[in-house]
Each structure stands twice: as structure tokens, then as C-alpha cells.
Amino acid sequence: MTATAMTQAPKETLNAFEIAQQQFANAADILNLNEGVRKKLRTPERCLTVAIPTRMDDGRLEVFTGHRVQHNTTRGPAKGGIRYHPNVTLDEVKALASWMTWKCATVGIPYGGAKGGITCDPKSMSLGELERMTRRFASEISCIIGPEKDIPAPDVYTNAQTMAWIMDTYSMNQGYAVPGVVTGKPLALGGSLGRNEATAQGCVYVVEEAAKKLNMNLKDSTAVIQGYGNAGSIAARLLHDQGVRIIAVSDSKGGIRNTRGLDPRKVLEFKDKSASVVGFPETEAITNEEILTLKCDVLVPAALENCITLKNAAQVNARIVAEAANGPTTPGADEILFERNILVLPDILANAGGVTVSYFEWVQNVQELYWEIDDVNSRLKRIMTRSFNDVYQIYKDKKINMRKAAYVLAVGRVAEAFKLRGLFP
């Protein structure tokens, strides 16, 4: 471990909101923002915490806790997903909301950041219980969401069906259909072609641009995917289709490795049947910790926060780390990877494809005019390619890591918008 890492080690924190605040402060220092602007941009505008009484299948009443945080709406309506997970906390949701602000600004779409979550174990709940909980949550937060105010989307353990329930609940209270209140909906309710693949597709577009900068031929490269949910499994498939050899993947139960390469489609079929990638034929079992340190060209963390830390950053053995997950790398680990010349494609850039196509979906809902898949993907590629090059130019000019470069771009854009709008009253 480097001397820098050793001096940072005692200071590292794994609290998501503290990490988000530190990342913001780093950019604010580089931009030389005054303290008043800093206070405005780092403070969430609204934090709504609600009780969610839900009738369970056995007749008992359970009360869950839900949150919706709107971090910043200076550049447009708040935008961000809703996650269902046992570890959801208000601090986590605040961090995710702030990351959404910077993510939208990084790729230049006219949204601010929001996030929502319910502290629950969705894996232990029936479809009926999930629907009743979702509808009550939608009702409780309906006072602050809407197509012009705050547009939720799917996140961890939520999906298109979840969005359909929220859209229906909101619409019934309005008295007419309001498809634009959420994105990530089923196509039959105004969803967009390409939305399901968008996070992974955007990540792969950014990886392609990064590979060009490193003179790396993707067809001769290897990749490791940590997390085999929607983003991870689709990223594996898209990379595989370009000739990249997928040598290891994992999910919450563990990982598998085959240095000769894995067929991502067959792995997904196996997981759908057995509920895990573990046990896939002709593979070696590895842990989620081990998978992060395998030698590869492209490492895609596509699980949860705080996977790459001071404890393992020195062992990461990839040329590119493409963050399909939110917050997988801690600030201390970032510095170690930067010192080791590992190119990190930060979450607010690498996984911004999801919110970008969510923006496309919202535009289609508002216009009541729907696009073909080629239109969606060509627009997405244009935005992701431009955004990567904007961030990469700052990275080269200022000689800072890619995350700081992305934050400098994003925070600068939001700060400019705030200064132009001024303060009311």
C-alpha cells in the first residue's frame, strides 16, 4: 500500500452521505466555490420520511419506513430511482439523491437529483404484499412527485411492474392517466424502447471510448462483472457480443470463474432457474471479494456501494474500472487506483445511461410521440460519448482522477445554473 493510502486509512468512512459530501467538497475546492454556494449545493432541498402501513398476506399489519429525497432542482425536475432493501437509510437515500444531481449534470440532461427507498426485505415478500406496500408509499409521497416536479424510476429490487403500480396510484388520484410521473414503465404504459438495457448500454459506450484512449482492443480483452442483476448481466452480454471474454461474474450469493470465458446468456438462464450464478457448470467458485481483484482488462462493479475500499484497492488488477453501480468505490480507494494508473469510469458518468433513457422516456410521454430503438440508442451513444470526452478532457487538463473531473464538470454546471437563477425571495 502506498504512503498516501496509509495516511488516508484512518479517515476513510463508509457512510454513503459523508462520501457524497466529500466528493462534492473535492470538486468545490477545485472550482473555488464560495461557502454560500457550497452550502446551497450540498444541502438536500427536501427529505420526506413516511410510514407505510401494509396488510400482509397472513392478515397482520406491518409498518415499513420509506424515504423520498429531492437533493436539487436548479436545473429541472428531480429525477431518481426507488430501491427496496433491508439496509435503506435516510443517509443512503440522501447520498444517492445527490449523486443523481451530479449524474444528470454530467451528461447534460435537464434534471435535478432525487432518490427514494423503503427499508424492507423484498425477497421475503409476496407480489401482493409488494403491490400494497408500493401503492401506499406512492400515495404518501404523491404530494411531492409529478411529471413537472419529481419523476421516480426503478432501482435496486424494483422494476417496471413497481413503476406501473406507482403510475396507476398517482393517476387514479389525479383522475386521468399520467404516464410521465415515472419512467422505467412497461412499454404498454408508455415506457421507452431500450430503457431496460440503458444503464448497461451507456456503460459499454463509455468503456468503448475509454478503450480507445488506452489503445486497447476490446476484442482481445477480458472482463469481470461483480453483480449479475439487470445492469451487470446486460453489460456482460453487450461486452461479450463485442468479443470481450467474460472470465468471471458474481451475484449476492457468490461468484464463478472460467478463464476460457463464460457465455453470459447461458449464465443468466442458469441463474433464472437456480436463483444464483453459483454452481454454473465448468466453473470455479470464488467470493465477491476475490472477484474484485482478478486480473482483467475491464472490471465492472454492478452491485452495491463501498465494494472497492482502502482494504482492497491495492489488489485491483484491471486497466479500466467501469462503475455500473452507484458508489462502489470509496474516496480513499479512488486515490490508490489513480496512483496505479487504473482508469476509473465513475458512476455519475458510467451508469448515467439509465437516467438518460429515462429522460428520453419522459420526453416521449410529454410529447405523446414514441421513438424507434435506433433513435434511442443513437441519441444515447451521442450523449455518453460526448460526456466521456468532456470528463476526460478535464482529467487530462487538470491532472486529477476521473471522478474529480466528472464532479468538476457536474458541480460547475449546477453552480452556474444556481448563480443565473439567483435566490428567491
At 99, list the grid cell. Answer: 449523486
Count of alpha carbons within 13 Å of 251, Cβ hemisphere only? 19
At 15, list the grid cell. Answer: 457512510
Does the active-site annotation cover 115? Answer: yes
Q: Is residue 406 helix, strand or coil?
A: helix
Pairing mode, strands 298-301 and 320-322: parallel
At 356, list the grid cell. Answer: 438518460
- Closest to 153 in 3D by CA, of 161, 163, 141, 139: 163
Alpha carbons 340 and 136: distance in angstroms, whole number:
49
DSSP symbol at 247: E
Alpha carbons 423 and 411: distance in angstroms, whole number:
18
Q: Is residue 297 helix, strand or coil?
A: coil
The answer to whether the CB of 360 falls within 8 A of the CB of 371 is yes
The answer to whether the CB of 253 falls within 8 A of the CB of 226 is no
Can you name the residues that pair with 146 across neighbouring β-strands? Answer: 150
At 269, list the grid cell. Answer: 438462464
Q: State the DSSP string of 311-342.
A: TTGGG-B-SEEE--SSS-B-HHHHHHHHHTT-
DSSP symbol at 120: S
Q: Write down the catalytic residue from 115, 185, 271, 404.
A: 115
- Closest to 181 in 3D by CA, of 141, 209, 210: 141
At 142, list the grid cell. Answer: 404523491
What lies within 8 Å, CB to CB, of 134 at 6+ separation is 162, 165, 166, 169
Alpha carbons 417 and 214: distance in angstroms, whole number:
34
Q: Which amino acids are annotated catalytic? A: 115
